[in-house]
Structure 1
């Protein structure tokens, strides 16, 4: 920038008009230097994966500024408390992180803030919400976790299902009798958890033919009721077997002799799973033995 300063001397030219008799001036220059602020552009949000109770980081997260420590000085704060002085930081908990960056040459300073949100594998609660021996069984699964967790639900390694965001309950319908594995995973990639649940029911057939598949018949989910009473009859009402509820089941024989392919009947006295009373129920149905 150039600056000229004039000191003008004015005199009367004899006609009453004032004119310059001489001009004194000086020219000077001013140099302005414009230094850029340190440039950093953090994401608005970052995701931190922690364990189920939120005390341990599962997948480490590093937030980078992309600037050199030889050219800049850094200060990171978490909710106002200084937690780092490097060009990057690895958060150990969620919160609002601010980085202040100073150019070591110019002294220019800039800041940026980001939010670190936590997510974790879920804790699972799975319950059979239909009675034992129902025509159609349903399992209700509830997942709870840390932070912004959203979940997907899987039954026995099948497809994944999810509900509306923030709805952490899912119901599997038309579930067969027996043991099932429920798996729930964090939709953000922060892990999964599994549990098993037993649906009390009975196999509609079994095949004691020596191929190691379906060799015996037993009621699913009754092994934790050793006082349950199970009787097996032929189609004419003849008692063939009193079955131990904690045993492997019936092998399709009577007095050591294999019985033919046919329908067989059973009765069972049991307590409804989850019922804290000592009230017993009775159920009767039939199944098929196939040779």
Structure 2
């Protein structure tokens, strides 16, 4: 739909006025309407059968009454310009109304309606018609597409009440044609009346009815507020200043007795007031705003059922009611003035476009620098903060420095606050950097559990921290414990994940009996280290508890028989040391071995 559609003529009369509303149940007496014609009615019956016994006309179908019409009202209008045209028929939510629009002036040859709606009002809407629902409901089934008209086209409009009882209806015309041709969108020459067509006005307007007639002797003015005409005391001039909504009548007394009686309906609609709106400031960097949230400010105590609010990029657009901004997710940039228009739904000619507010969008600085800096043992300092400063921002560190980045040499937390000031609005963002001096740990122990179905190795260090561990060239892991370790020589690494290096230890996984029984029964008579052949030139040295050297053997030996110089030694615990040749060709003593065993007799 064209969002430039502008409602032009509308009037909703109180129920008391419906007794004298302009209603014709028959097509032949269709009520003419034009630009300023207020149209309202309360139908009762259908008069003659304008469809001559037909069972359908477009979307309309024959009812239980045996005819298409139930409670009908007929109107006619003629276009005075080309463009987009529509209309809104307003009614009570509890009622069911239908309409059909015929492009003809011949009631005896209506043809197929060019627009037609026969849906019931299950959704309890207040409008149906052609074009766009003034309540903004785009999903309603009670609206047909806009008309594209040319000058001089005649139309007949049937409005039919299917409820048998009704509280009346109103018609408002709409469309872009009233923007381009506000004074002749509809041709008023089809109305022949001394006082002219009915008048739809705002309560702030001055309305003057003019009955001036040459040779007139006198004038008498009457008004009908819904209970019948009564004389207006003291009004005998050719013109009448009108202040209240009513049906007005003038009697023009002529010399020859050919007096003239003319009537005109005048309706005043309340004019809205746009209340002051607060300026909006966005520091999010998000240039979208939901203007619908500003409606309540603009309306104040006024009801959204009576008035609607629109927002415009210029004062001229707001005054003319054209090019409204989308209310939801409207994209605005920088600093911008938004002009507000509050419009009467009853009569869109009644509006107030006197208020505006400023919207300012300032981008909050986005900080992306690292929040951690690790200084290794060989590093004395490092650079933190934004390395690519923005000339529109100001920078302030909690150290007092005002550059975008600084050099930190001490461990601690450093906070940078960045401010962007534009159009008198300041938006800030802060980000902290934790500087840590990283140390390489020391391996305090490696626990080797051997002679198990699955050998395990567990590493212990002197520092707390998120270190990672690796054995040989296996996958680096978080756990300090390794499982399924094969016998032999291995390299264990403790790695600083911050890139500050690693600590390496070489271990030997071997198996040996925790005791032996050299009693000559050929069972467990020798103490030996298993898998010793996995090492290069291994040598085992055995000592007593006082460190006295007792025996030495290599990989080809049976082991120790529990004697010293051929003399059996007593049953007790003994210690050993294992040496081997490492990859550098140097003799190395195996570390972290639980190197004691028992001799039992």
TM-score by length of 2: 0.27
Name which structure has the greater RCO, CA cutoff 8 Å, separation 6+: 1
Higher Cα Rg, which structure = 2
TM-score by length of 1: 0.49
